[in-house]
Amino acid sequence: MRNPLPRSRHLSPLEMLLFTTLFLLGSGCASFEEEPAPGVSAIVFDAKANLHYRCGEGLDAWTVTDRDTGAAEAAGCEQAVIFEGASPNTHTFDIEGFSGTRRCWTGTCQVRGTAGETVHADCRASITPLCGF
């Protein structure tokens, strides 16, 4: 059969590989974003949802400690505390909120990590206000 495009030619395997790679990269059909590892989750604590306070209402900073791993995270008044790579088990967390140097919120709650998911912790029923704001 005669080539319908007289000036066209067949691509070599190397040219075909290069063309395909460039096409996939340029078209957005290839994704190199890292997938969450199987069996790993993130647990997110939001200050407003858990402590019922935000900046300007007495809360300056807060910390959350995972008793099971010893990992501790701290955040400013309206920042979330995030535990990346949490195992899909039930974790016991100690939560403390501070107004200046005074500990004004404290509590302990359990949160279950879910494999490959982001879990938004709801510990508000377990946190006691201490400063009477």
Residue 118 lies in a domain: yes
Task: Find the radius of gyration of the CA atoms of the chain.
Answer: 26
Q: Are strands 118-120 and 41-45 parallel, antiparallel or unpaired?
A: parallel
Residue 9 lies in a domain: no
* 121 class by beta-carbon count within 10 Å (0-12 exposed, 13-18 middle, 19+ buried): buried
Residue 49 lies in a domain: yes
Residue 18 lies in a domain: no
Residue 50 and residue 124: Cα distance in Å, rounded?
4
> Is residue 127 within 8 Å of 107, Cβ to Cβ?
yes
Q: What is the pLDDT of residue 44?
A: 94
Residue 65 lies in a domain: yes
How many structural domains compose the chain? Answer: 1
Q: What is the pLDDT of residue 30?
A: 43
Beta-carbon contacts of 119 under 8 Å, excluding residues fewer than 6 positions away, are 41, 42, 43, 44, 86, 111, 112, 113
pTM over 0.85: no
Q: What is the pLDDT of residue 47?
A: 86
Q: Domain residues for 45?
A: 41-129
Residue 3 lies in a domain: no
CATH of the domain at 94: 2.60.40
Residue 85 lies in a domain: yes
Per-residue pLDDT of the chain (133 residues; tens, 9 = 90+): 555 545 545 556 666 555 555 544 454 444 344 444 566 689 999 988 888 765 666 788 899 999 999 999 999 877 899 999 888 889 999 999 998 899 989 999 999 988 888 999 999 999 998 987 6
Q: What is the pLDDT of residue 24?
A: 45
Residue 114 lies in a domain: yes
